[in-house]
Amino acid sequence: MKRPGILPALTYRSATLIFLLVAFAAIPFADLGVSALHPGAEFGRLVGGILSPAFAAIEVRSVIWTVAFAVLGVALGGTAGLVLALVFDRFRTVRLVAASLRSVHELFWALFLMQITGLSATTGILAIALPYTGIFAKVFAEFFEEADRSAENVLPRDTSALSRFAFARLPVVGQQIKTYSLYRLECGMRSTLVLGFVGLPTIGFHLESYFKEGHYAEAAALLLCFYVLIGTRRLWARAATVPFLVIGSLLVLPETTGNSSTWRNLARFFGHDIIPAPLRNSSLRDGHTWSNFGEWAWRITAHQIGPGTVQTLILAQIALVAAGVLALLLYPMVARRFLGRFGHYLGRATLVITRSTPEYMLAYLLLQLMGPSMLPAIIALSLHNGAIIGYLLGRQADQLPLRADAPTGANLYFYGTTPVLYGQFLAYLLYRWELILRESAIFGILGLKTLGYYVDAAISELRIDTAALLLIGVALLSMCVDALSRNLRRRLRIETLPVRLSAEHRSNAARAAPYAGAPQAQQPVV
């Protein structure tokens, strides 16, 4: 039975058109100018620097701390996420806590935590661990939900919950949990690098000053070091090395300065700073207090959350479409069917390096080169996300069964692979939507007028209460986009398509070890 409705049925075509229209409508409102005086000359110096990396300048400690913060942050987040995942479908509160934790970006967490724990290792580790707890909880809960329950159903009835879990649940999803956690370490390292841009002693801290001063050769050496670490992740981050990584990371952490004031800061933070200004030191029974509070909240909503949201959405929608276009253009680069054996290896390397480049860092660099406008942010977001989606699509294009007399080249692209992969493409893009939005908000710290701009300003003026209200706005916005994305995926009937980046790693693992147990269903999400 056809459901009558006011809206026309959503198809791949209409969904694509809607997103294109929104993005084009947003362009006139976006500042896309290049204001730097000699962007070409500066770009030439950048290329020169990349071609002659100054390895002697590498700050080894910052590299070690980047790895250590990431290892401990991901380990802590993974452990907490696993615990939450066990009760995820039982308690609404747990789901809500997880959703709130992951809807706030690592950088925002870091800016907040600094108020309590200062520029310390604790800040760096918790800034990763908190949002990752939310992500891990959701993903692990999905693993458990989709897991084969048949062995569990046969267990004697009075088996304790813990025995049940240890014997019939954990071993079933253990492999998935392991692969996903190790993959997350890669994301964690990108995140810790970026934390350096707000002052923590990771690679990003030095990159920021190198970029600012135009020391591209030094920056290139440091970045190269980072790429090598990411590229060799599967060699040094394995199940067997995890205990050593964790203990080693604990041993090399930088000494905390001014740790003694943490408790005092904590008391001040929760007892004063985060309480909305109109409510401080005033009677909560007084109607006047509440009208002041209403006025305060309205002022922030109207003058900061409102315009910040509009700018965030403008950036996110343009970047989303640009990333999609780029992904469709790039995917043949990693497909053997299009570029052949050597070509596709080269393409893969290019896209892996592009996607390993933290988009925040890229935006920072491009802003230095091109001058302040939305253009650098759009380029950074679309390159990073376009590379991620393009890579996944290209790998899938190679796995498509094609008839023996299938066309080649452009004909294969337009009549074969692209139409077949289009649903998958939309699934990836809709999934990245929320991430692009979160990142768009964050780019405000770089000076764009998105939500992060107001958060950063409020924190630097020590108006923590304002920053907290703004963050609630950011969280609500990203939850709305997440819900809308899920709704669209359902209506397009693409909600079961895999969009988890680690799914690809898993299939690699399965190929290397064909005995790896039960056939693994492709997992949706992340």
| Complex with another protein: residue 158 or 255, whichever CB lies closer | 158
Length of the chain: 526
| Complex with another protein: residue 13 or 157, whichever CB lies closer | 157
Q: How far is Cα 232 from Cα 238, in angstroms, rounded to an integer? A: 11
Q: Smallest distance from the beta carbon of 174 to another protein, in angstroms? A: 6
Secondary structure letter of residue 128 according to DSSP:
H
Other C-beta atoms lying within 10 Å of the C-beta of residue 101: 24
| Complex with another protein: residue 56 or 162, whichever CB lies closer | 162
| Complex with another protein: residue 486 or 505, whichever CB lies closer | 505
Q: Smallest distance from the beta carbon of 515 to another protein, in angstroms? A: 5
Q: How far is Cα 421 from Cα 334, in angstroms, rounded to an integer? A: 14
Report how far apart, in Å, the C-alpha atoms of 71 and of each of 2, 67, 287 are. Answer: 52, 6, 50
Q: Are 249 and 72 in contact (CB under 8 A)?
A: yes
Q: Smallest distance from the beta carbon of 136 to another protein, in angstroms? A: 20
Q: Smallest distance from the beta carbon of 172 to another protein, in angstroms? A: 6
Residue 292's nearest CA partner among 306, 281, 303, 278 is 278
Residue 304's nearest CA partner among 193, 457, 524 is 457
| Complex with another protein: residue 12 or 167, whichever CB lies closer | 167
Instruction: Name the residues that contact another protein, by CB under 8 A.
Output: 150-151, 153-160, 162-164, 166-168, 171-172, 174-175, 515-518
Q: Smallest distance from the beta carbon of 239 to another protein, in angstroms? A: 13
Q: How far is Cα 222 from Cα 216, in angstroms, rounded to an integer? A: 10
Q: How far is Cα 181 from Cα 239, in angstroms, rounded to an integer? A: 10
| Complex with another protein: residue 155 or 302, whichever CB lies closer | 155
Q: How far is Cα 128 from Cα 196, in angstroms, rounded to an integer? A: 13
Q: Smallest distance from the beta carbon of 509 to another protein, in angstroms? A: 13
| Complex with another protein: residue 153 or 281, whichever CB lies closer | 153
What's at 28, amino acid-wise? P
Q: Smallest distance from the beta carbon of 238 to another protein, in angstroms? A: 17
- In DSSP notation, 81-102 reads HHHHHHTTTT-HHHHHHHHHHH
